[in-house]
Chain A
Amino acid sequence: MIRQNPYRLSIEQMQAKALEIRRDIIAMLVEAKSGHTGGPLGWADVATAMFFHEMVFDPQQPKWPDRDMWFYSFGHVTPIHYSALAEAGFFPLRDLMKFRKFDGHLQGHPSNLDSPGIEVSSGSLGQGLSIAFGAAYGSRMDNHPRRVYAFMSDGEQQEGSIWEAVMSAGHYKLDNLCALIDYNNIQIDGHVEDIMGLAPLADKYRAFRWHVIEIDGHDFPQILSALDEARATKGKPTVILARTVMGQPVSFMRDNYEWHGKPPTREQGEKALTELGTSLDQWSARLLNG
């Protein structure tokens, strides 16, 4: 098999896919009555670009030895992780309607032993970059062509162990490692800059010997060109700081930290899905039949 993304969608197709994924997120959260809404919606464009254009994998054989590897360090954004995996063919869409339920396989936070497409369980923040570092280091030892991606939140940059990993990846010049940060300036208790400020985050990474790219995380051309630039950058790991709006584009969720960790009610879900051009019944039926 050729090492390339199985979909390679165009920008217009990715925009359409990201809309479907956002609808999945709302419908599965209404059904689950539990889970995180804002972060998954805000990360939907970057995730779509990764799964439908950038990353190399085969959904029919999740452990394909030639695959790229990705690590969701901010495990709590499972609604976007799972809906992207389902849309990409790792498991049926109907499984999304069993999210967080006893008789489903989709745990509240990702579990590698329960669901395909997950390399390692996560949910305790601050661990993913170290794991990605290890996978990237081992891949380089074997001259394996894979790229290794770590998806992190901005809030979890407050974890000290992240900076141990940042230091080690800079030290070892791991250019097969790329970190992407969901920089929405929101964490559970409020705005990141109010809780425990990160700025200047780009300078921090540069000081730790990383190549830094700052983009609008809702702009597909910017996302794709940043990924190209990361791939072309040698002798350094790259971090892509993707500025996103939590809750995007739902009017009553955007940039509102109250939507970090709660699901929409039926009414709120209906309202959100109307804004997204469908209805709760219609989209739930699509998932249940998928």
Chain B
Amino acid sequence: MPDMKKTREGFGRGLVELGKSNPDVVVLVGDLSESTMVSFFAKEFPDRFIQMGVAEQNMMNTAAGLSLVGKIPFLSTYGAFATCRCLDQIRVTICYSDLNVKIGGAHGGISVGPDGATHQAMEEISMLRVLPRMKVIVPCDYEETRKATLAAAAAWGPVYIRFGRENVPVVTNTETPFELGKAIVLRPGADLAIIACGVMVFEAMEAADALAKRGIDARVIDLHTIKPIDKTAVIQAAEECGAIITAEEHQINGGLGGAVAEVIVRHRPVPMEFVAVDDRFGQSGTPDELMTAFGLRSRDILAAADRVLKRKTERVF
């Protein structure tokens, strides 16, 4: 078994690093300090930590106001509330005005588990990537979340970082390069490409191992930045592999799969399959039960591989 670590801890540790290196970084929280792990920052930098209570819309625009006086505000709450509840604030105040606000969305995906559908954010990528100027990052593990947090501070403008609740396998390491907007090819291959984000990157690696045993070389791409999307990496995957699978712990409509499809249909149409939550709300259960029940396992990627390779062979687009 690989090492297991929480992506949200990567956010929390990344913020502490930022706190040390940049006095302008401030952190806001909506009554979820422990859960979003901004408590690390609160402990080290109490003067730059702002408790906003259970009032997410106010927190979002407070961050906007802080950015106007030169701060680099990171706010944190559950992704479901950060996005759906505050979408108007994000659209009009933050994106339209191009403000330097960083949004940390905790509890992304079905793997949130027992809290159930209300707390399982599965719509953030779709909601946010339509907004001009917004950047959307869905890191795959602890280390990548830490790096994404640092990169968010360095990039001007609105950034959303999604992270999850559970321990998830560590796929990257401190040496893995991270550049906002630049996909990482974690495994070479030319028979098909699996483009994934978040915890599905690990599932994609597992699927690629299984495919290799059948003599199929799957390229695995960690598309941590959904927006701005790395068109070059996506088009190259389509050209060189001729078949694409996307995998995300998110609704099937408008997410990573949609973003990739928008690129390939315009530049290099190839058969494509989506592994995602099939337009339904979540429910309570253990993360393991739910990932399996909602079709977010390596075996689901393997089934998608069978379909997409058949279409590739038969030239069915």
Contacting chain A: which of B45-53, B116-124, B197-205? Answer: B45-53
Q: Could you list 28 examples of A-B contacts with CB < 8 Å? A: A111-B96, A119-B68, A121-B93, A121-B96, A124-B91, A127-B88, A127-B89, A127-B92, A127-B93, A130-B60, A130-B62, A130-B65, A130-B89, A132-B65, A133-B65, A134-B61, A134-B63, A134-B66, A134-B67, A135-B65, A137-B62, A138-B65, A141-B26, A160-B57, A161-B55, A167-B53, A168-B55, A168-B62
Q: Which residues of B contact A (CB under 8 A)?
A: 26, 47-48, 50, 52-53, 55, 57-58, 60-71, 73, 88-89, 91-93, 96-99
Whether the Cβ atoms of A168 and B53 lie closer than 8 Å is yes
Task: Report Cα–Cα, A216/B49, bound state, in Å.
Answer: 40
Q: Which residues from A are CB-within-8-Å of B47?
A: 141
Q: Which residues of the other chain, A, contact B71 by a CB distance below 8 angstroms?
A: 138, 141
Q: How many A-B residue pairs have CB under 8 A?
A: 103
> Cα distance A135–B50 when bound, in Å?
13
| Among B48, B52, B92, contact of A141 (Cβ-Cβ < 8 Å) | B48
Instruction: Determine which of A131, A144, A164, A167 lies in contact with B93 in the assembled complex, contact meaning CB atoms within 8 Å.
Output: A131
Contact between chains at A136 and B65 (CB < 8 Å): yes
Confirm or deny: A142 has a beta carbon within 8 angstroms of a beta carbon on chain B.
yes
Tell me whether A164 and B58 are in contact (CB under 8 A). yes
Interface of A is mostly: helix
Chain A residues, Cβ within 8 Å of B93: 120-122, 124, 127, 131
In the complex, A143 Cα to B62 Cα: how many Å? 18
Interface size on A, residues (CB 8 A): 31
The residue in A119, A122, A130 that gathers the most chain B C-beta atoms within 10 A of its C-beta is: A130
8 A Cβ contacts from A114-169 to B: 119-124, 127, 130-139, 141-142, 144, 160-161, 164-165, 167-168
Q: Given A161-B57, A168-B62, A69–B96 Cβ distance below 8 Å? A: no
> What's the Cα separation between A123 and B97 when bound, in Å?
12
Interface of B is mostly: helix
Q: Is B58 touching A168 in the complex (CB atoms < 8 A)?
A: yes
Interface residue? A2 (CB, 8 A): no
The residues in A between 156 and 187 inclusive whose CB is less than 8 angstroms from any CB of B are 160-161, 164-165, 167-168, 171
Compute how far the CA of A244 lies from the CA of B249 in the bound complex, rounded to whole angstroms: 53
Q: Is the CB of B68 within 8 A of A134?
A: yes
Q: Which residues of B contact A121 (CB under 8 A)?
A: 92-93, 96-97
**A112 interfacial contact with B, CB 8 Å:** yes
CB distance from B63 to the nearest CB of A (A): 6
The answer to whether B92 and A130 have CB atoms under 8 Å apart is no
- Inside 8 A of B57's CB, which chain A residues have their CB? 130, 160-161, 164
- B68 touching A124, Cβ below 8 Å: no
* In the complex, chain A residues whose CB is within 8 Å of the CB of B62: 130-131, 133-134, 137, 165, 168
